[in-house]
């Protein structure tokens, strides 16, 4: 296969944990060609979506892990597959890139994940498509409704709809002396919509990341266990990742969501599950492959490339 990957600058890749790097290595080991580009390299010119891409040769060296060929312009439909692996923030530039990639789809390109689906599935709000697995949840910008929600549940989580890595997540109790300023700050004085959810005590056992590859679950989740004194189960916030087999509840969630997400064109998805509850559906650039592989021996990147080969054959 001839694969193109849209990602962050190569020099920023942390090879010891990056899932995109694991996928590139797995594909390269099978003889597939790897081309790298950034968002800025994707262009619409004379009605055709093209990209300035460099072919990579991967090296067995943690510090100098690649060499790259001269950049050249390619039509995206010339690749067997194009992987959108740019990390959030999911801002307007990200949305513009999905528009370009959607045009490329119409010209014959195969994009993973499907651009329209990435736009349609807000990583927090899209859990509402599956209410049977959600914790009690409120989405609003109205202070009075948030106060009522706190009054009902006593202990809640407040989070923005567009952040990542645990950024700007607050645990709030009814008697919190900073309640007013937290609500004002989070909603930007009633101008920004936020999500409130009942606090789930099982976060102490970890915020589980379940990877779905073309609708099929990886058999192990990565439970991200918060550090002492912390509420957030995010590796970026200092959580410790522990791989563990999927529970019966995890498997039920995966079995329900997998076919529907695959039908929507979401090839790689990271479900976040705390206790028995689905809290996020990550579709932009899900991670966790290397941590699961190193702790269990299960070749997650290999499973990804297996599925990609079937899709692109």
Q: What is the CATH number of domain 136-199?
A: 3.30.1490.20
Report the pLDDT value the prediction gives residue 282, as an integer from 0 to 100: 96
The pTM is what?
0.95
Active site residue 129: no
Q: Which one of 209, 214, 234, 291 is the catalytic residue?
A: 209
Q: Which one of 85, 86, 110, 124 is the catalytic residue?
A: 124
Q: Which one of 198, 224, 234, 291 is the catalytic residue?
A: 224
Equal fold, 125-129+202-299 vs 136-199: no
Q: Which one of 105, 198, 282, 291 is the catalytic residue?
A: 282
Active site residue 209: yes
Report the pLDDT value the prediction gives residue 216, as an integer from 0 to 100: 98
Active site residue 11: no
Q: Which one of 122, 232, 234, 250 is the catalytic residue?
A: 232
Which of the four CATH numbers 3.30.470.20, 3.10.350.10, 3.10.450.630, 3.40.50.2000 does domain 125-129+202-299 have? 3.30.470.20
> pLDDT tens digits for the chain (313 residues)?
999 999 999 999 999 999 999 999 999 999 999 999 999 999 999 999 999 999 999 998 878 999 999 999 999 999 999 999 999 889 999 999 999 999 999 999 999 999 999 999 999 999 999 999 999 999 999 999 999 999 999 999 999 998 776 678 999 999 999 999 999 999 999 999 999 999 999 999 999 999 999 999 999 999 999 988 788 878 877 889 999 999 999 999 999 999 999 999 999 999 999 999 999 999 999 999 999 999 999 999 999 999 999 999 8
- How does 154-173 read in b/e, with b if 16+ C-beta sit within 10 Å? eebbbbbebebebeebbbbe
Q: What is the DSSP string of 240-273?
A: EEEEEEPPHHHHHHHHHHHHHHHHTT--EEEEEE
Domain residue ranges in the chain: 2-114, 125-129+202-299, 136-199
Active site residue 86: no
Has domain 2-114 been given CATH number 3.40.50.20?
A: yes
User: Strand 81-84 to strand 72-75: parallel, antiparallel, or no bridges (unpaired)?
Assistant: unpaired
CB 240 within 8 A of CB 224: yes
């Amino acid at each position: 296969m001839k694969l193109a990957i849209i990602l962050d600058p190569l020099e920023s890749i942390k090879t010891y944990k990056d899932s995109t790097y694991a996928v590139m290595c797995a594909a390269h080991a099978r003889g597939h060609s790897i081309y790298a580009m950034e968002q800025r390299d994707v262009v619409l010119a004379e009605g055709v979506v093209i990209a300035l891409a460099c072919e990579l040769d991967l090296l067995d060296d943690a510090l100098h892990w690649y060499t790259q060929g001269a950049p050249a312009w390619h039509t995206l439909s010339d690749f067997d597959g194009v992987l959108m692996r740019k990390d959030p923030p999911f801002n307007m530039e990200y949305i513009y890139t999905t528009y370009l990639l959607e045009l490329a789809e119409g010209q014959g390109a195969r994009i993973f994940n499907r651009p329209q689906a990435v736009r349609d599935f807000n990583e927090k709000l899209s859990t509402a498509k599956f209410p049977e697995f959600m914790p009690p949840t409120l989405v609003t910008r109205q202070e009075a409704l948030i106060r009522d929600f706190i009054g009902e549940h006593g202990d809640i989580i407040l989070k923005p709809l567009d952040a990542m890595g645990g950024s700007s997540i607050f645990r709030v109790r009814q008697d919190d002396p900073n309640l007013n300023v937290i609500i004002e700050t989070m909603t930007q004085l009633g101008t920004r919509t936020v999500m409130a959810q009942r606090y789930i005590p099982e976060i102490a056992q970890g915020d589980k990341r379940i990877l779905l590859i073309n609708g099929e679950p990886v058999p192990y989740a990565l439970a991200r266990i918060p550090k002492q004194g912390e509420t957030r189960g995010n590796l970026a916030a200092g959580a410790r990742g522990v791989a563990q087999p999927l529970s019966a509840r995890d498997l039920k969630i995966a079995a329900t969501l997998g076919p529907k997400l695959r039908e929507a064109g979401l090839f790689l998805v990271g479900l976040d599950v705390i206790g028995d509850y689905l809290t996020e559906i990550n579709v932009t650039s899900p991670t966790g492959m290397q941590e699961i592989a190193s702790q269990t021996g299960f070749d997650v990147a290999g499973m990804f490339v297996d599925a990609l080969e079937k899709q692109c054959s």
